[in-house]
């Protein structure tokens, strides 16, 4: 199979634990672009952060940000597509969360207004587990989320213990399973477990497949690499799905291959060098 697209997760995959793209990894990405391989980043991160990693790379990157729900290109920040969560559904999720003493943080499609996150309480409130880092200014504190009806919610994030998030997720999926997609991230060391809830048509995989189709690229021509549970679909469904050595067991179970090195050893780049004979 001649592969034409590479899709990469960021945290735990392309980035080391210091949240950097190391030199060898960037060199491999440049080498891939030189042979006309389309580079796509699929991440739970907001667009603003993801774009900053590629400021000096010398080539445009399409970024599927906020869990895949919004696609933009670093060349001009143009929004290619986005898929938001239904407002009434969101309100029911908020109400149910409160019954479990869980309070969400939102990714919203308002980057042009200088706003990426919405929260109900102070940024340092325990319910957010330091999700918004010190120095980040692109967020707003709103009143009651039950009064929010702007229709621009990309991703709903709940932080907490893994078991309590699993119980809450089970209840939400029982009520609304066909209307949303959800997963629990377990590899974010600085934040802890995160339950992400999003539009079922706005996942990393659905957005990646749609974007590839728009370029005339089949899903069989995609190489995908990831490490956490929000990468399962892209690893499972791409032509070549590769799990990181440091990936969760669930990701490794669906992968066709596992890297020999971790994200701190530039395992993704080393694997790509092998696949493309670079």
Q: Are 48 and 116 in contact (CB under 8 A)?
A: yes
| CATH topology assigned to domain 87-198 | 3.30.1240
Instruction: Using 50 as the pLDDT threshold, list the residues of the chain that sit under it.
Output: none
pLDDT digits (tens, 9 = 90+) for 121-154: 988 889 998 899 888 999 999 989 999 999 999 9
Contacts of 187-191 spanning 24+ positions with Cβ under 8 A: 187/11, 187/12, 187/227, 187/228, 187/246, 187/247, 187/248, 188/11, 188/228, 189/17, 190/130, 191/129, 191/130, 191/131, 191/159
Which strands, in side-by-side order, build the sheet including 181-185?
A: 139-141, 115-119, 105-110, 153-159, 194-198, 181-185
Determine the pLDDT at residue 112.
82
Determine the pLDDT at residue 111.
81
Determine the pLDDT at residue 113.
87
Domain ranges of the chain: 5-82+202-275, 87-198
Residues 6+ apart with CB under 8 A from 106: 117, 118, 119, 145, 153, 154, 155, 156, 157
d(CA 30, CA 47): 21
Which CATH number among 2.40.30.10, 3.40.190.170, 3.30.450.40, 3.40.50.1000 corresponds to the domain 5-82+202-275?
3.40.50.1000
d(CA 114, CA 232): 31
């Amino acid at each position: 199979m001649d592969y034409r697209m590479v899709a990469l997760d960021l945290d735990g995959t392309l980035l080391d634990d210091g949240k950097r793209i190391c030199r060898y990894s960037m060199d491999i990405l440049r080498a891939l672009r030189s042979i006309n391989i389309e580079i796509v980043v699929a991440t739970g991160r907001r667009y603003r952060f993801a774009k900053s990693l590629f400021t000096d790379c010398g080539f445009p990157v399409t970024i599927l940000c906020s869990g895949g729900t919004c696609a933009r290109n670093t060349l001009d920040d143009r929004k290619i597509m986005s898929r938001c969560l239904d407002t009434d559904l969101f309100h029911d999720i908020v109400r149910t969360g409160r019954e479990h003493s869980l309070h969400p943080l939102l990714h919203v499609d308002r980057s042009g207004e200088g706003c990426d996150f919405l929260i109900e309480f102070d940024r340092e409130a325990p319910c957010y587990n330091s999700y918004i880092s010190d120095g980040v200014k692109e967020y707003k504190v709103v009143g009651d989320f039950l009064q929010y009806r702007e229709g621009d919610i990309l991703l709903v994030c709940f932080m907490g213990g893994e078991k309590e998030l699993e119980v809450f997720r089970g209840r939400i999926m029982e009520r609304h399973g066909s209307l949303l997609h959800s997963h629990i991230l377990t590899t974010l060391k600085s934040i802890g477990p995160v339950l992400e809830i999003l539009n079922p048509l706005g996942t990393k995989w659905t957005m990646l497949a749609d974007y590839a189709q728009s370029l005339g690229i089949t899903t069989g021509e995609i190489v995908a690499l990831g490490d956490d549970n929000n990468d399962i679909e892209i690893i499972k469904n791409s032509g070549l799905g590769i799990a990181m050595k440091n990936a969760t067991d669930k990701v490794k179970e669906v992968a066709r291959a596992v890297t020999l090195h971790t994200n701190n050893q530039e395992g993704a780049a080393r694997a790509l060098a092998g696949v493309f004979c670079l």
